Amino acid sequence: MKLAALGLIVFVFGCAEGPAEAPPAPDLSARVLWEPLAPARRVVVATLAAEVVPAPNASARLGPGVSGRLTRWLVAPGATVRAGDALAELQSAALTTQEGAVVELAAAVTQAQGTLDARRAEQAAGVGRAVEVQAAEAALVRAEAALEAARGALSAQRDTVSGGAGARVWRAPRDGAVQALHCAPGPLTPEDVCMTLVQPADALLRVSVPERVDAALALTPTLRFFPGDDRDPVEATLTAMSPALDPSTRARAVWFTAPIGAVTLGQSGPAELVIQPGDGLYSVPSGGAIRVDGALVVLVKDAADPLGRPVPVERVGADGASVVVRGAGLRPTDQIATRGVFLLKSMRLLAEEG
């Protein structure tokens, strides 16, 4: 009986001290997907709020250029007008007086011409003197000069104001969109600025680019503007930018030019700041880039590491539902985990904890 017990003890201790078998490697093929790195097609570095504004030199501040009284507006802010369209009705006693002066000066020229003709006829008949002809010629020159000056001043005003002595109409001097009205019905002076008219063809898209993506401006980005009316996005090109970041917002004002007619003044909506992809930029499904010990990594397939070799990457932007990354340890021939990534991460943490 003692010998049997001793044999049992030896058997138990012998089993405890024998070498342990390594657990079988897990079969991850059904839960992990490895895919080749895909070059980025487009890189969206930021989504920004955009608004359609007039180009710096596209607006004009206008007035009728006459003294009188504005009786009523015929347009409102936001209206689009063509050259010659009626803008407002007004009355102008000064313009009526100026028109009367032109009529009087024209009559004076006719009279001066008649006097000169008479003096020349007298001189030819031998009853007139040369000095009288010279005086009549000088009087005609003065009358013609006065008439030309009055007609020039009246013509400048009539370029935009038409009508008779009663109600007159102020007309648009060019095509444009009415951005603002500055005069209420009431008295007018020739210096009054009553309207801001902008040219829609010169509209620009304006965005504020934050400091975190300011460096992307050196890559000549484009802007994809979403008007919000079920139309396709509008592609706009970089036109100008403020020389420095705004110290209060830490952002830079940037303007983009859209195709003529593609946007309308006053529109606003989201826009994507887009750069062209370069070498070393890859598009990774959003679940394929994870954080390990605070660093963003992708897991690269490696024969020596069934759980994937972590390669640190930097997020550059987005490419649709994917993120765009670059990393010094990535090669175009690499395959990365795009499904089951968190499973691989968890298994690696368990293995490291022993």
The position carrying tokens 């970089």 is 238
Alpha-helical (H) ranges within the chain are: 2-17, 93-125, 130-158, 341-353
Residue 204 to residue 194: CA distance in whole angstroms: 24
Assess whether pLDDT exceeds 50 at residue 11.
no
Residue 237 to residue 262: CA distance in whole angstroms: 13
> pLDDT tens digits, residue range 225-244?
998 777 789 999 999 999 99
- Region 29-41+280-353: CATH code: 2.40.420.20
Answer yes or no: are the C-beta atoms of 238 and 276 closer than 8 Å: no
Q: What pLDDT score does 5 carry?
A: 46
Q: What pLDDT score does 175 carry?
A: 85
How much is the CA Rg of the chain, to the nearest whole Å? 42
Answer yes or no: are the C-beta atoms of 234 and 259 closer than 8 Å: yes
In three-state secondary structure terms, 216 is helix
Assess whether pLDDT exceeds 90 at residue 251.
yes
Beta-carbon neighbour count of residue 205 at 10 Å? Answer: 26
Assess whether pLDDT exceeds 60 at residue 3.
no
> pLDDT tens digits, residue range 299-319?
999 999 989 999 999 999 998
Q: What pLDDT score does 233 carry?
A: 92
Biggest distance spanned by C-alpha atoms of the chain:
178
Question: Is the Cα torsion angle 260, 262, 264, 267 positive or negative in sign?
Answer: negative
Residue 235 to residue 48: CA distance in whole angstroms: 14
What is the rounded average pLDDT for all residues in the chain? Answer: 85
Question: Is the Cα torsion angle 88, 94, 95, 100 positive or negative in sign?
Answer: positive
Assess whether pLDDT exceeds 60 at residue 136.
yes
Residue 256 to residue 48: CA distance in whole angstroms: 13
At the top level of CATH, which class does the domain 45-56+200-275 belong to?
mainly beta
Q: How confident is the model at residue 161 (pLDDT cuts 50, 70, 90)?
A: confident
Q: What pLDDT score does 283 carry?
A: 93
> pLDDT tens digits, residue range 173-215?
888 888 889 999 999 988 999 998 887 777 899 999 999 999 8
Chain centroid to Cα 253, Å, comes to 10
Q: How confident is the model at residue 8 (pLDDT cuts 50, 70, 90)?
A: very low
Q: How many residues does the chain have?
A: 354
Determine the topology of domain 62-91+163-198 in CATH.
Answer: OB fold (Dihydrolipoamide Acetyltransferase, E2P) (2.40.50)
In three-state secondary structure terms, 321 is coil
Q: What pLDDT score does 12 carry?
A: 44
In three-state secondary structure terms, 329 is coil
- Lowest average pLDDT, out of 1-10, 98-107, 226-235, 258-267, goes to 1-10
Task: Tell me what the mean pLDDT of segment 278-297 comes to.
Answer: 90
Q: What pLDDT score does 76 carry?
A: 93
Q: How confident is the model at residue 165 (pLDDT cuts 50, 70, 90)?
A: low
In three-state secondary structure terms, 262 is coil
> Phi first, then psi: what are they for 206, rounded to 5°?
-115, 135
Residue 263 to residue 197: CA distance in whole angstroms: 17
Going by the DSSP 8-state scheme, the letter that residue 257 receives in this structure is: E
Assess whether pLDDT exceeds 70 at residue 83.
yes
Q: What pLDDT score does 166 carry?
A: 67
- Lowest average pLDDT, out of 142-146, 152-156, 333-337, goes to 152-156
Q: What pLDDT score does 158 carry?
A: 61
> pLDDT tens digits, residue range 273-286?
999 888 889 999 98
Percentage of the chain exceeding pLDDT 90: 45
Q: What pLDDT score does 25 carry?
A: 52
